[in-house]
Amino acid sequence: MMGLPAGWVTGVDISRNEQLKALGNGVVPQQAAYAMSLLHPVALGVSA
């Protein structure tokens, strides 16, 4: 659902509560990639 591979948090030996906490504190990979694509040129001083 969040764009993560199957077993990302369920394939490790942590409780259900810890799994939900890990997902809840995360950033959806697609959002992070989009943000980086916008911010990277700005950080380098290149106009997009």
Return the pLDDT at 13. 92
Considering the chain, what is the average pLDDT of its residues?
Answer: 82
Q: Structural domain boundaries of the chain?
A: 14-48
Query: DSSP letter string over 6-37?
Result: TTTTTTSS--HHHHHHHHHTS--HHHHHHHHH
Mean pLDDT value of segment 9-14? 87
2 vs 22 pLDDT, higher one? 22
Query: What's the predicted TM-score (pTM) here?
Result: 0.48
